[in-house]
Amino acid sequence: MSPGGRIGPATLITYLDHLERADRAGAVALAQGLLADGCSVADVLVDLVAVAQREIGRRWLSGSWSVAQEHAATHVSELVVDALGAAVGAPHRGHVVVACVEGEWHALAARIVSEVVRAAGWRVTFLGASVPARHLVSYLHQSGPDAVLLSCVQPNRLVRAARMVEASRAAGVPVVAGGPGFGPEGRWATAVGAAAWGASARDAVRLLAGPLPAGTHTGPQPPPDDEYVPVLHRRRELVRLALAAVDPPEATAEDVAAGIAHLVDALIAAARVDDDRLLLEFVAWQEEALTARGGRRLLDEVLAALERALAEHPRVAARVRHARAAVTAG
C-alpha cells in the first residue's frame, strides 16, 4: 500500500494472483488487512477490486483467460465484497435502490457501488442482475426510495435502460446512471432520461449528497422518427436471418447466435440515442474478441447479412454499412 492509504501496483498484482488461483481465503484476507491498515471500504472496492475486475475482462477479451477462469475470479471478488460489506455500520441517511439493467448479468460493479454507498451511510437495497422494468417500478411504488442507481455495463442494453429510467421517473424517483454501457463520460445517460451519471462508486456517493431532479415525464425523448422501433420489433427475425446466413458449426451455433443478438441490440441502441459511435465502438470490441479467437471474418459476414435484411429501413441499414466499412478498413 502506498502512502496516504492509496492502494499501489504491488497490492494489485498480489490480489490478481489470488484471483488467478481462485484463492478466496487469500483475497479476503488481503482486503481485510487493507481495512485494518487504514484503507476505507471505498479504497479497497474501487481502487483494488474494481481495477482488478477490469484487468480480468481484458484477459478474457485477449483470449489469455477462459470463461471458466473469468467466472472463478469474479466469484472470489464477490466474496471479498461480501466480507467488506459485513463491516459496514448502521445507515443514517436515506434509502437508495441499486439495480442492473434488464438483460445485464454482470452484477459485480453494481455490488461494489452498493457497498460503497452503504458505507457512506445510506440504506441500500440491491435488486441484483437483470431487473425487468415492470418489477422495478412495482418495487419503487412499494418502497419509495430517494433514488435509483442503475448499472449498465454493455451499451447494447441501452434501450432496456431507457425503459427502466422511464419507469423510475414515472414513479417520481430520479435515476443516477453508472457503468460503461452509458458511454464514455456517460454521454448517453441523459439521452435516456437519467438525472446524472457517475464513473465510479465514489461518484455515486457524491451525486447522492447533492440535489437530484425529481422524476417527471418531461425528460429526453427518443429521436423524432423513432427509427429504432421497427428494428426492435424485428429483433428475433434479424438474429435468425443473420445466423442462417453465416451457418456456423453446431458446436459454436449458440455462441454465435448470442453474439449476433448483442450486435442487433447495439444497432437498435445506436438508433435510439442517434449516435453511430455506439455501434462502431461495440463492433470494434466484438472484432477484437473474435480476432483473438480466430473469427474476424465472421463479423463482416454477419454485418453484411444484417445490411441486406434491413434494406427496407435505409437509415438503419446505413448505420450497419458504416460499421461494416470500419471493420473492412481495419
Q: How many residues does the chain have?
A: 330
- Predicted confidence (pLDDT) per residue in 160-209, tens digit: 999 999 999 989 999 999 999 999 999 999 889 999 999 999 999 999 99
Alpha helices in 66-225 (DSSP H): 67-85, 108-119, 133-143, 158-170, 201-209
- Predicted confidence (pLDDT) per residue in 12-43, tens digit: 999 999 999 999 999 999 999 999 999 999 99
- Read off the DSSP letter of residue 274: T
- Read off the DSSP letter of residue 46: I
d(CA 180, CA 287): 18
Output the CA torsion sign for 10, 11, 14, 15: negative
The C-alpha cell 460493479 sits at 109
- Predicted confidence (pLDDT) per residue in 123-165, tens digit: 999 999 999 999 999 999 999 999 999 999 999 999 999 999 9
- Predicted confidence (pLDDT) per residue in 69-114, tens digit: 999 999 999 999 999 988 888 889 999 999 999 988 889 999 999 9
Three cell numbers, residue 146: 430517494
d(CA 263, CA 250): 20
Write down the pLDDT at residue 136. Answer: 94
CA angle 129, 114, 104 (to 5 degrees): 20
- Read off the DSSP letter of residue 126: E
Beta bridge partners of 128: 99
d(CA 197, CA 152): 11
Averaged pLDDT for residues 274-284: 92
Alpha helices in the chain (DSSP H): 9-20, 24-36, 41-44, 50-62, 67-85, 108-119, 133-143, 158-170, 201-209, 228-233, 235-246, 250-273, 276-292, 296-309, 314-329
